[in-house]
Chains A and B, each alone.
Chain A
């Protein structure tokens, strides 16, 4: 598989800060992957994400995204149409007063011909399920809907990679579900590569792969099952695990034999059910 992200030994320090925010991070992501990035505030996960579309440039190491060196200033626009970014606060990334005008914003900046903009805007709005709201004003929409508009504005540019920096942090459960459902569909159906930065473990569990960052370094990089089996380590770096994983972890601590790759409710129910039936047989 072709790598869409190839980051080698990224080092970065914010001006005025003694400690580096990134202390040598190497990550490669292949096309079509859906990767979650976890880490507590200040772990460097946002800083890392901002390197992917040249909001920040590394002071050490090199970062290639879609074959473009992010430090190449001449290719900045190319890079940004390759790697789109959605931010936390939906209110602060919507520019226009009408939904469809906002989705068109990026395309207008790229100088796309009007007929093609129209086409792409409509298809992007359909992809996020917001087509019927195309003539609404953003302030009439819910948080989840606004965030989907922001996503539409990015995917209209037809990027290969979409980076979402805590897109659900300010949303209620309904909005969160809407946004995650949309992102997952973009990944599964349109094959878009997704980098999802989040604090919610259930969102991370639904990705193909999880990167855990701590103190400017890459701590774990593995499948959700493998990552969440490190309950103690995760807790130590200020993270959580899904409750299904936690129950199993607690029982295992008490010497009960259970698989250690349980992350969903169903898996947990299965494991507990087989455990309890075995117990029943023994008693019978």
Chain B
């Protein structure tokens, strides 16, 4: 099943004016249901514009978007249905919190969907569990919480809509390493348990390599690459040339390879690096050590 499909998707800002700018230039791609896709690209590359097309916040200048086979703009009146199918967590989502209590804030999305009270409270509870919010937090004002907690409340607010496709725009921006780790493991957990499709926008190649199966690279308004982590990060030189870089371990291994060592060229995480080095050093099985 194809979860997300775009056909020659194109978006032009301020068309027919001197400020005309093509932000998304003919993107055609298919994302399988249940995939975990990392989205990388510079600020201003067009990736934010692109992801806002996937839940109908932006309307294509031309081209089409299909979610689970349905043409998004076939009937513009039904666009809200797509917003519920594709959940979008913006950068710094804690700035959108507004309700008196955490519980009510998480319930905002499900309430807009017109669900029953029982269903809403059920979803709010599940979503809160996913992001590790303790029950006693639920009746607090979201404004009393710490930065990391607010972030998780905001993410729960989108998870509670139980979208088929979940898009997160730099969900860990500005957090400390511990907070980053927590959010990533919660997202992974959510992905595994619900087998929903996840798109993760990130500037950290290390994080993308660790969590995503596939990588989508946007550069200069064009879809530069869409493939498995191996395929995409193998293009180290091109990625570096566009200033995107690759994970630090990959750089180390590329350099080793350049120096004539017979190392594998698909090393993207510390875990993989360790296994590979132990193999080379003749300590197979060291993986379990």
> Which A residues form the contact surface with B (CB < 8 A)?
40-42, 88, 142-143, 166, 169-170, 172-175, 199, 201, 238-240, 242-244, 246-247, 250-251, 253-256, 265, 268-269, 272-273, 275-276, 279
6 additional A-B pairs beyond A246-B270, A254-B286, A265-B248, beta carbons within 8 Å, are: A41-B148, A174-B243, A243-B270, A244-B252, A256-B283, A279-B282
> In the bound complex, do residue A41 and residue B176 qualify as a contact, i.e. CB atoms below 8 Å apart?
yes
In the complex, the answer to whether A238 meets B274 with C-beta atoms within 8 Å is no
Cβ-based interface call for B251 (8 A): yes
Which residues of A sit under 8 angstroms from B273, Cβ to Cβ? 247, 250
Closest 8 CB pairs of A and B: A238-B178, A243-B248, A240-B177, A172-B43, A250-B274, A40-B176, A169-B174, A269-B255
When the two chains form their complex, are residues A272 and B277 in contact, meaning their CB atoms are under 8 A apart? yes
Bound form: Cα–Cα A102–B148 in Å: 32
Q: Check A243/B261 contact, CB under 8 A, given A254-B283, A279-B281, A279-B282.
A: no
Mask, B138-172, CB within 8 Å of A = 1, is 00000000111000000000000000000000000
B146 adjacent to A41 (CB under 8 Å):
yes
Residues of A within 8 A of B261 (CB): 273, 276
Q: How many Å lie between the Cα of A201 and that of B176 in the bound state?
A: 11
B87 interface residue, CB < 8 Å from A? no
CB distance from B241 to the nearest CB of A (A): 14
Please name the residue on chain B nearest to A249 by beta carbon. Answer: B270
> Which size class do B's interface residues fall under?
35 or more
A234's nearest neighbour on chain B, judged by CB, is B177
A210 to B194, CA, bound (A): 42
* Residue B247 interfacial (CB < 8 Å): yes
What separation, in Å, do the CA atoms of A271 and B195 have in the docked complex?
Answer: 41
A47 to chain B, nearest CB (A): 15
Using a CB–CB distance below 8 Å, which chain B residues touch chain A?
A: 42-44, 146-148, 173-179, 203, 206, 243, 245, 247-249, 251-252, 255-256, 259, 261, 270, 273-274, 277-278, 280-283, 286, 289
Question: If the complex has contacts A243-B206, A243-B247, A247-B249, are A199 and B176 also in contact, measured as CB distance less than 8 A?
Answer: yes
Write the chain A residue with the least CB distance to B263. A276
Complex CA gap A254/B288 in Å reads 9
State in angstroms the CA–CA spacing of A166 and B173 once bound together: 12
Which residues of the partner chain B approach A240 to less than 8 Å between Cβ atoms?
Answer: 177
Query: Contact: B255 with A247, CB < 8 Å?
Result: no
Q: Which of A142, A265, A276 contacts B43 (CB 8 A)?
A: A142
Q: List the A side residues contacting B43 at CB < 8 Å.
A: 142-143, 172, 174-175
Q: List 28 A-B contacts (CB under 8 A).
A: A40-B179, A41-B179, A142-B44, A166-B174, A169-B174, A170-B173, A170-B174, A172-B42, A173-B203, A201-B177, A238-B177, A238-B178, A239-B177, A243-B206, A243-B249, A244-B248, A247-B252, A247-B274, A254-B283, A256-B283, A268-B252, A269-B252, A273-B256, A273-B261, A275-B281, A276-B256, A279-B280, A279-B281
